[in-house]
């Protein structure tokens, strides 16, 4: 007769009480997971999270209360979980999992690692540490009503990096500055404008008309005089946006006329831009004020944030937000800067009003504050119940692993709508490791195409090794027979090389570099392919990867969207509060469809067609894993509700 302890076999219950597990992340999924673990019978748990508790967390991270705001998530989660099971032994770390203290030996003391992370950089790192330590990893993610849990085991399953992940879509500067055609372009412009006026100025986030736009092909010296300015202070030939704004005392009306009248009139002088486009229509504050009677906004039904104001309504909102932000700057003192935060009302009001005014100028339908916030924060609304379901599935997969039943583990997708078999949860068999994976292959190798005469050593270190290939502290040696050290993780040792180009070290077409990351116990061989034919603004390409193309069709497999949960590849490498738009239950969305749709609408569209299924953010397709029950797929090969969404 089977002896049960609660709902578990005694042998398994005993195993839980002695097994040491690591939870990485104590946010939306992490809180639910920690609670589930102690209630299931896990006694030895370590949890790590760098973040602190924010008021916005309280609607879904139920281990936290208002009195905890500002405190360590990991520490408070530990204290709250102990109230469910005071006998549990929980260790909390308020730290980044990418700290060198958490090395391979640290990971080897666990029998199981469970991820509840908010960004890809940290996910990549934990994936590599678990591979190096040969410890099973349960990866998870949620986005709105969608969720996914999968198991990663060295040599048995795909690792987290076996399949390339789509990168966040970016937009050309000339599109943002000169020829916006979608609401998202105007929202990005408004966020740039906030930083240029009130935050940290960035030359790559300029908002003035782009006179170097190759499409314009005009002579600015001849036509600049045609753009008349209503204020001397509004001369577009300013050196610094912030400096000019300060010279006006952050006068909202002067700012308005400069941004929405003078700059637009200047754009109109670029005749060639408007031959096949509808030309923008400048706005004038005085004229709008005089016509106020003609455009009274009638409040609509529904929540205030979901109403779309009239042009004058956004003019007044712009004025109010500028005055509030100006006061905040003055209170902070000379040289102070503000940081844009989607949860800061004046900052959100500024972006909402500025973006909508620009949409109107370029003949787009204006958007509600709710829609602007969704796109500006790159988020899908967090759903507490989704986190709870996914956390429960993580524990169930963990029980299989501890029972020695790894072969019965599955990738499980939580769908928004039931399929024809009335199932919301769809299990799929785990795929084997990819032979071409540059992480878990026996000898990881990649070929990188770049211009050795234009690529600096610092670019190789930061953009290629750290950002693209997920290394934390790389050491690079040239395989030139001399063992030349190009990059050292020891501070200051190779700093003099940073500004030099790869070609200065004899690196040429066909050269090989050995990149080691001792923290991750990871070595990558890089073959350099020299080229002078890269597209404009492209620093390098990884040969064999084409994120803008669909993979070849595969027999007996369905296909699935790949939607990224968390920040882009260059995200903060931790569950860090330094990235205010991130959380473990949000998703970056840059829709290729009508950018007027909210991010939630983008995801709804993503659950549309089957087969060659395009990603909401990049247009990239990816392969759906085969199901354990193929009859469901065969029964309805074209049913939209039967789709599976793969989350990061």
Tell whether 302 is in a known binding site. Answer: no
Tell whether 368 is in a known binding site. Answer: no
Report the DSSP beta bridge partners of residue 164.
Answer: none
CA triple 155-130-435, angle to 5 deg = 35
Residue 331, SS3 per DSSP: helix
Tell whether 73 is in a known binding site. Answer: yes
CA distance 375 to 600: 9
Structure tokens at 150: 């999968």
Tell whether 120 is in a known binding site. Answer: yes
Tell whether 85 is in a known binding site. Answer: no
- The torsion defined by the Cα of 463, 469, 475 and 481, in degrees rounded to 10, comes to -100
Tell whether 118 is in a known binding site. Answer: yes
Contact status, residue 19 vs residue 375, Cβ threshold 8 Å: no
- The torsion defined by the Cα of 550, 551, 557 and 559, in degrees rounded to 10, comes to -30
Q: What is the CA radius of gyration of the chain?
A: 27
End-to-end, the C-alpha distance of the chain in Å comes to: 42
Tell whether 122 is in a known binding site. Answer: yes
Tell whether 437 is in a known binding site. Answer: yes
Kindly list the distances between the CA atom of residue 95 and the CA atoms of 67, 114, 436, 464, in Å, as whole numbers in the listed order. 21, 16, 33, 26
Tell whether 28 is in a known binding site. Answer: yes
CB atoms within 10 A of CB 340: 21
Q: Where are the alpha helices (DSSP H) in 89-140?
A: 104-108, 120-133
Which residue in this structure is represented by tokens 């953010």? 617
Tell whether 108 is in a known binding site. Answer: no
Contact status, residue 351 vs residue 317, Cβ threshold 8 Å: no
Tell whether 259 is in a known binding site. Answer: no
Tell whether 123 is in a known binding site. Answer: yes
> Phi and psi (nearest 5°) for 168?
-65, 135
Three-state SS annotation for 501-546: EHHHHCCCCCCEEEEEECCCCEEEEEEEEECCCCCCCCCEEECCCC
Contact status, residue 310 vs residue 353, Cβ threshold 8 Å: no
Residue 47, SS3 per DSSP: strand
Residue 8, SS3 per DSSP: strand
Tell whether 30 is in a known binding site. Answer: yes
> Phi and psi (nearest 5°) for 206?
-65, 145
Tell whether 430 is in a known binding site. Answer: no
Active site residue 315: no
Catalytic option among 174, 186, 315, 417: 174
Q: What is the largest CA-CA distance in the chain?
A: 94
Report the DSSP beta bridge partners of residue 646.
Answer: 562
Tell whether 60 is in a known binding site. Answer: yes
Tell whether 588 is in a known binding site. Answer: no
Tell whether 421 is in a known binding site. Answer: no
Tell whether 456 is in a known binding site. Answer: no
Burial class (CB in 10 A: 0-12, 13-18, 19+), 392: middle
Tell whether 176 is in a known binding site. Answer: no
CA distance 213 to 270: 10
Structure tokens at 332: 């902070």
Tell whether 508 is in a known binding site. Answer: no
Tell whether 203 is in a known binding site. Answer: no
112-115 and 20-24 as β-strands: parallel, antiparallel, unpaired?
parallel
Tell whether 58 is in a known binding site. Answer: yes
Annotated binding-site ranges: 25-30, 49, 57-60, 73, 96-97, 118-123, 159, 162, 437, 440
Annotated binding-site ranges for ATP: 25-30, 49, 57-60, 73, 96-97, 118-123
Annotated binding-site ranges for Zn(2+): 159, 162, 437, 440
Could you list the active site residues?
A: 174
């Amino acid at each position: 007769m089977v002896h049960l302890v609660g709902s578990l076999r005694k042998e398994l219950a005993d195993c839980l009480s002695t097994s040491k597990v690591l939870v990485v992340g104590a946010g939306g999924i992490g809180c639910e997971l920690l609670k589930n673990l102690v209630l299931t019978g896990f006694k030895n748990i370590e949890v790590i999270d760098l973040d602190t508790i924010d008021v916005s967390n309280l609607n879904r991270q139920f281990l936290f209360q208002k009195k905890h705001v500002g405190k360590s998530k990991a520490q408070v989660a530990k204290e709250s979980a102990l109230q469910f099971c005071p006998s549990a032994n929980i260790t909390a770390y308020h730290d980044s999992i990418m700290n060198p203290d958490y090395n391979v030996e640290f990971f080897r003391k666990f029998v199981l690692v469970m991820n509840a992370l908010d960004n890809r950089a940290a996910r990549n790192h934990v994936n590599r540490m678990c591979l190096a330590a040969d410890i099973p990893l349960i990866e998870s993610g949620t986005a709105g009503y969608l969720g996914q849990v999968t198991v990663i085991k060295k040599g048995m399953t795909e690792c987290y990096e076996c399949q390339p992940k789509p990168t966040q879509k970016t937009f050309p500067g000339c599109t943002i500055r000169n020829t916006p055609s979608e609401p998202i372009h105007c929202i990005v412009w408004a966020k740039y404008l906030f930083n240029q006026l009130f935050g940290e100025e960035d030359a790559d986030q300029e908002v003035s008309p782009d006179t170097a736009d190759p499409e314009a092909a005009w002579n600015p010296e001849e036509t600049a005089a045609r753009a008349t300015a209503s204020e001397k202070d509004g001369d577009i030939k300013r050196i610094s946006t912030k400096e000019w704004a300060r010279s006006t005392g952050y006068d909202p009306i002067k700012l308005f006329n400069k941004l929405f009248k003078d700059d637009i009139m200047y754009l109109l002088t670029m005749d060639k831009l408007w031959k096949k486009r509808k030309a923008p229509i400048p706005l004038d504050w005085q004229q709008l004020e005089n016509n106020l009677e003609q455009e009274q906004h009638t409040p609509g039904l529904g929540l205030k944030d979901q109403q779309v104001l009239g042009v004058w309504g956004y003019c007044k909102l712009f004025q109010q937000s500028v005055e509030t932000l100006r006061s905040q700057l003055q209170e902070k003192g000379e040289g102070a800067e503000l940081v844009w935060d989607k949860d800061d009302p004046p900052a959100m009001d500024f972006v909402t009003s500025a973006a909508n005014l620009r949409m109107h100028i370029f003949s787009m339908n204006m958007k509600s504050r709710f829609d602007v916030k969704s796109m500006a924060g790159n988020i899908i609304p967090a759903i507490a119940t989704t986190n709870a379901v996914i956390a429960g599935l993580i524990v169930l997969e963990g029980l299989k692993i501890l029972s020695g039943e790894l072969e019965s583990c599955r990738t499980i997708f939580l769908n928004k709508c039931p399929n024809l078999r009335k199932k919301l949860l769809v299990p799929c068999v785990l795929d084997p490791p990819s032979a071409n994976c540059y992480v878990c292959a026996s000898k990881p190798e990649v070929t990188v195409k770049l211009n050795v005469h234009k690529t600096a050593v610092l670019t190789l270190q930061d953009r290629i090794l750290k950002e693209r290939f997920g290394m934390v502290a790389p050491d690079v040696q040239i395989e030139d027979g001399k063992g030349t050290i190009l990059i050292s993780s020891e501070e200051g040792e190779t700093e003099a090389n940073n500004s030099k180009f790869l070609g200065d070290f004899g690196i040429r077409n066909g050269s090989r570099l050995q990149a080691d990351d001792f923290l991750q116990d990871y070595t990558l061989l890089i073959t350099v392919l020299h080229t002078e034919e890269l597209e404009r603004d492209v620093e390098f390409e990884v040969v064999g990867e084409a994120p803008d193309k669909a993979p070849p069709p595969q027999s007996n497999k369905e296909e699935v969207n790949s939607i990224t949960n968390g920040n882009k590849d260059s995200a903060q490498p931790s569950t860090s509060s330094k990235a205010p738009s991130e959380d473990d239950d949000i998703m970056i969305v840059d829709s290729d469809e009508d950018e007027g749709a909210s991010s939630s609408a983008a995801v709804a569209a993503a659950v549309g067609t089957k087969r060659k299924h395009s990603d909401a953010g990049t247009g990239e397709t990816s392969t759906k894993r085969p199901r354990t029950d193929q009859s469901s797929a065969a029964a309805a090969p074209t049913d939209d509700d039967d789709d599976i969404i793969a989350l990061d």
